[in-house]
Amino acid sequence: MTSLGSSSSSSSTEYTVRVPKNNSKKYNLMAFNSGDKVNCSTWTQARMERDMSARRIYGEEEAAEGAAGSEFGKKQREESRRKKYGIVTREFKVEDQPWILKVNGKAGKRFKGIKKGGVTENASYYIFTQCPDGAFEAFPVHGWYNFTPQAKHRTLTAEEAEEEWGRRNKVVNHFSIMLQRRFREQERGGEDDDDENDKSGKKKKKGGRKGGDLRIHDLEEDLEMSSDDSDSSVGDDGEAKTKGKKDSGKGKAKKKKRKSSDKDALEDSDDGDYEGLEVDYMSDESSSDEEPEKAKQSKGEDHPKGIDEASESEEESEEEKPNEEETKEEEEEEEGKKTPVQTEKKKKKDSSGESETSDDSDIDGETASALFMKKRTPPKRGGRGSAGSSRTGSRPGTPSIDSASTSSTLRAAASKLEQGKRPTAGPSTDSPAAKRLKMEPSSQSPAPSGKTTPQPPSGKSTPSSSDVQLTEEAVRRYLIRKPMTTKDLLKKFQTKRTGLSSEQTVNVLAQILKRLNPERKNVNDKMHFYLTE
Amino acid sequence: MSDKAQVNLTGVKQSKGVWLVKVPKYLSEQWDKAPEKGEVGKITIGKKLGKTEVSFSLDAELTARGGVGENDASTQVPREHPFTMHTAGGQTLAVFSQGDGDEIRLEGMVVHRAECRPVVNDDYMRLKKLQLKESTKPQRLSQQLERAVTTIFKPRADHDFNLEHDKKKKTDGKMVRAERQVVLDMLFSAFEKHQYYNIKDLVDITKQPVTYLKEIIREIGVYNSKGTHKSTWELKPEYRHYRSAEEEEEMQTA
């Protein structure tokens, strides 16, 4: 029923619109995403059915009604129970279930069509089709389904995806992710032999794909160390099996990864192994790629560890030390170990020029001298520091240990140094009083008699400073060596060591001083006593 | 009930292009009132100055909102509705229809989308005003009751219901023991209907005193103290010959 009506500038045609009444057919819309590039005309065959998987969840499992297995009045009881608890169960409506569309048979694509809600609420959609007679027929749209293609390939579950996301910056080989997953699945399912075969077979199939069990780890992932090792080992095996061509770059990367993983494994135990490397500062370059990495990492590890262990050792030695001083001390210690005499000589030499009182601190495990040291040549320290530290597995820890062994010789030297040092360094402002004090007690034991001669280990120099007597002799010794204030003297004779109470100590000391009648000198506004022989 | 079907792809093969038109609710309501033939109006497709213009005009008979045949000037639905046309856009839209007998047909692809827009004039404004008024009315009203509500229980010494119940019990008298065989027959017929019964329900069915009933049922039945059907009685295995549900169905259909 077309009729023409037109004005000059436009041509228009009229068509009647019909809305058929007797519609047994319900029209629905099937919406695809343009990205999926779906072309319906290419479909040869298609099957569509409702996805009833939700029925298990929603539908109540009805026990057999009537006869076998049923109870009398069960339904009513269940209903009243539900009402009592206010449980409102949503009905399972077949109409609202998603569609499953299979195109081109089993091997073809699969789509899932989920109903879109709210389509018919405020406006109605009509499908206008043109009939052969030219009129339009309008059919109301019953429902709108959004069809999305379903992945046939394997995907990661949510947990796995989260995991991989966390490692995304470290994992280079993404093919390995799915391979690993498959491997894991097979392990759960089949025997080991089969797994191996499958794994190797798959690897061969994939050719360039890597045995994907390698993982790169940063320092932070120390926890996973063991698993990494096993994984890396498996990965290595896998690699061996893979015959496919290897991308050289990838291979290199892998080697590095392996190395890093090995490195990671080693670092735990052999922290100090790399301390002896020439690489002191980050800028050092070495021939192979590994060394700087290792050095870097070792350094990196050292510092945090150093501080920790430092605190430990400090407790032991009742002290606190910065690391630098440690290194210096260790260095000294090391030397001291080998050639006590030489050390002493060197120290002597140093004492004249530099602050080798690091030895003192070494021996005593105290940093008093470190204060003096600090002002002196740091580079020299640094140079030898690493060497020294290399010898000691954990720097902070060693001083106390070593000191015990070498104390006898070193103490003598130390005391000698002290004598030399104290006048010059004197009241070093850097040093908190505590450090100096700590230095002192240890120097008590190796009672050096003379100023200039380094005392050989004699009976006087006893490593343990526990048997300190508050005697005139001891006081005399101190005052000869160096001018001291009363406070210093008191601190020398600690109550812990003398076994006297503080009051007693004060009294006894006062008496002794009276007897000795030392000379007085005012240093830094403090009254110092000293004796001359 | 589950629609499983091979999709009839004839529509798509023929590359039938259809239009998807969004129509306002009031207009679709009017269309529902269309006469048997189904004609609702005319669509005009014209080319004005190079642009394609489509317009729909509603049949005069359908403009009345009240009902067909009425000519209430106040509620007139506008007649002219220009269509705004777009192409299919990002989505690939196809139309499939579900027939009665689980038949699914792919009718065609959507080539154009259109929106049926009303022309804004006084008529339309009036219509919208009415619509708004209707929608703002609350769905729930408060009504005043004429009589007071008498279902609430006032505190009493003894409720009417209770008194009646006692009286009924007295008049009905105690349950009389019927013949053993009679009771057994009753039980068997009951167990034919359901497998598990509560003792209370059995008492209700058989109208026998509990002790007597228990005696009898102990002969033929067994008590379930645990499991899904707790504290229920069922027949002993030798007395049972239940058929599964499917068999029963088969029997019925046969």
Confidence band of A147 (pLDDT split at 50, 70, 90)? very high
A123 to chain B nearest CA, in Å? 5
In one-letter notation, the amino acid at residue B152 is I
Check if the interface score ipTM surpasses 0.90: no
Higher-confidence residue: A156 or A243?
A: A156
Contact at CB, B39 and A46, closer than 8 angstroms: no
Distance from the A110 Cα atom to the nearest Cα atom in chain B, whole angstroms? 14
Rounded Cα–Cα distance for residues B77 and B56 (Å): 13
What pLDDT, on a 0 to 100 scale, did the predictor assign at position A467? 56
Question: What is the band of A512 on the pLDDT scale with cuts at 50, 70, 90?
Answer: confident
* Residues 6 or more apart in contact with residue B229 via CB below 8 angstroms: A71, B195, B196
**Residue of chain B whose Cα is closest to the Cα of A15:** B43
Nearest CA in chain A to B240: A68
Query: Which residue in chain A is spatially nearest to B48 when comparing CA positions?
Result: A10
The first and second tokens of residue A221, run together, are 């992932």
pLDDT score at A146: 92
pLDDT (0 to 100) of residue A190: 67
Helix or strand run (H / E) with residue A268: helix A248-269
Residues 187-206 of A with CB under 8 A from B: none
The pLDDT value recorded for residue A321 is: 45
Calculate Rg over the CA atoms of chain A: 44
B4/A47 touch (CB, cutoff 8 Å), yes or no: yes
- The answer to whether A127 faces chain B, any CB pair under 8 Å, is yes
Across A313-322, A507-516, B193-202, least confident range: A313-322
For chains A and B, count residue pairs whose Cβ atoms are closer than 8 Å.
220
Is residue A238 within 8 Å of A197, Cβ to Cβ?
A: no
Determine the residue of chain B that is closest to A37 in CA distance. B92
Q: Residue A192 and residue A179: Cα distance in Å, rounded?
A: 16
Q: Does residue A525 have a pLDDT over 90?
A: no
Please name which of A362, A505, A347, A370 lies closest in space to residue A419, comparing C-alpha atoms. A347
A76-85, A178-187, A477-486, B224-233 — which is least confidently predicted? B224-233
CA of A141 vs chain B CAs: smallest distance (Å): 9
- The shortest CB-CB distance from A10 to any of B7, B46, B243 is to B46
A152 vs A427 pLDDT, higher one: A152
- Per-residue model confidence (pLDDT) at position A10: 59
pLDDT at position A191 is 54
Q: How far is A24 from chain B (nearest CA, A)?
A: 6
> Which of B2, B7, B98 lies at the smallest CB-CB distance from A47?
B7
Query: Which pLDDT value is given to residue A69?
Result: 59
The answer to whether A278 touches A286, Cβ cutoff 8 Å, is: yes
Distance of residue A225 Cα from the nearest chain B Cα, in angstroms:
50
Distances A48 to A101, A152, A409 between C-alpha atoms, Å = 4, 17, 94
What is the reported pLDDT for B22? 92
Residue range A197-204: mean pLDDT, rounded:
44
B-chain residue closest to A121, CA distance? B25
Asked whether the predicted pLDDT for residue A149 surpasses 80, the reply is yes
pLDDT for position A233: 43
Binned at pLDDT 50, 70 and 90, residue A416 comes out as low
* A297 pLDDT higher than 50: no
- With tokens 């061969």, the residue in question is A204
For the cut 50, the answer to whether the pLDDT of residue A29 exceeds it is: yes
Query: For B244, which residue in chain A has the nearest alpha carbon?
Result: A68
- Residue partners of B67: CB distance under 8 A and separation at least 6: B33
Residue A197 pLDDT > 80, yes or no? no
Q: Say yes or no: A4 contacts chain B, CB-CB below 8 A.
A: no
Name the residue among A56, A74, A55 with its Cα closest to residue A65.
A74
Interhelix angle A397-425/A433-444, rounded to 10 degrees, is 100
Average pLDDT for B45-66? 81
Report percent pLDDT > 90 for chain B.
3
User: How large is the average pLDDT for residues A387-399?
Assistant: 43
Range from A178-182, A440-444, B18-22, B195-199 that averages highest in pLDDT: B18-22
Q: Across chain B, where does the E strand assignment appear?
A: 4-8, 17-24, 39-48, 51-58, 80-87, 92-98, 104-116, 194-196, 221-224, 232-235
Instruction: Read off the pLDDT band of A283 (50, 70, 90).
Output: low
The answer to whether residue A54 neighbours chain B at the CB level (below 8 Å) is no
> Which residues partner with A103 through β-bridges?
A46
Q: Say which DSSP state A270 is in.
A: -
Question: What is the bridge-based pairing of β-strands B104-116 and B17-24?
Answer: parallel
> Is A71 within 8 Å of chain B by CB?
yes
Asked if B5's CB is within 8 angstroms of A70's CB, the reply is no
Residue A406 confidence (pLDDT) above 80:
no
Residue B185 has pLDDT above 60, yes or no: yes
Q: Is the pLDDT of residue A437 over 70?
A: no
Cα–Cα–Cα angle for A68, A70, A74, nearest 5°? 170
Identify the residue with better confidence: A265 or A166.
A166
Alpha helices in A43-138 (DSSP H): 55-58, 74-85
Least Cα separation, residue B246 to chain A (angstroms) = 10
> Which residues does chain B have within 8 Å of residue A25's beta carbon, measured at their own beta carbons?
97-100, 105
Beta partners for B17?
B109
Tell whether A287 lies on the interface with B, counting CB pairs under 8 A.
Answer: no
Give the model's pLDDT for residue A462: 41
d(CA A30, CA A164): 35
The answer to whether residue B221 scores a pLDDT higher than 70 is: yes
Residue B119 has pLDDT above 60, yes or no: yes
Determine the pLDDT at residue A341: 47
Residue B145 above 60 pLDDT? Answer: yes
Q: Is B195 close to A101, i.e. CB distance below 8 A? A: no
d(CA A156, CA A162): 9
